[in-house]
Amino acid sequence: GQAADARAKMLVYRAAGFEIFTHIDLPKTLTSVNVALITDAAVQAVPMATGLWPSDHDRSPRSLTQLRLLQDHLMKENLGFLPNFDVMIPDELRRASEVLDALDFAAERSAQTGQAVVALYPSTEVLDVLRFWLQHSNHRDSVIAPLSAVLTR
C-alpha cells in the first residue's frame, strides 16, 4: 500500500543522503510530556525522519522557554527542528519554469540574508530541474547543503 511505498521511498532518499523532515502539529502550550508524545508519534509514523517542522497551519506564538523545551528534547533524540523555510516547492509544482523561479527566489533571498531554506519533495522531475539550475543558473555562488548544515541540533 501507500505506507509501504512511502517507506521504500524514504529508504532510497536516506541512502542518497537526503534528510527527511516530517510535519508535526504542536499544541499552543508545550510541556515536557506533550513534546515527548508528539515527537515519539512523529518518529513512529516516519521512522527515518531526521527532523521535524510545524505543520503549515501552526502559527501559534511560543515563549522562548517553550521553544527551548522543544529544542532540548529534539536534541536528545538527535532530531533537527525547522521552524520555518523560505521557499516550499510542493509535489504538485511540476512545471520546470515554476521550480526554476522558486530556486531563483531562494538564491536571491540567500544573497540578502546569507542562507535560504528550500523545502521540497525530491521527485525525479524536481531533482532534474535542481541539477539543471545548479549548472546553468546566474547564481553560481549558490550551493545546496542538507538542513543539518544550517540547523542547530
Q: So what's the pLDDT on residue 104?
A: 92
Q: Which helix (H) or strand (E) holds 119?
A: strand 118-120
Q: How many percent of the chain have pLDDT more than 90?
A: 8
Mean pLDDT of the chain: 82
Strands 80-81 and 51-54 turn out to be parallel
CB of 51 closer than 8 Å to CB of 21: yes
Give the SS3 label for residue 33.
helix
Q: So what's the pLDDT on residue 57?
A: 60
Strand partners, 61: none
Strands 80-81 and 21-24 turn out to be unpaired
Give the SS3 label for residue 75.
helix
User: Over the stretch 47-95, which tens digit does the pLDDT of each residue have?
Assistant: 888 888 887 666 667 788 888 898 899 889 889 888 777 888 877 766 8
Q: How far is CA 89 from CA 35, 53, 126, in A?
A: 28, 15, 9
d(Cα 64, Cα 24) in Å, to the nearest integer?
19
Q: So what's the pLDDT on residue 56?
A: 63
Q: So what's the pLDDT on residue 36?
A: 92
Among 26, 17, 21, residue whose Cα is nearest residue 62: 26
d(Cα 146, Cα 143) in Å, to the nearest integer?
10
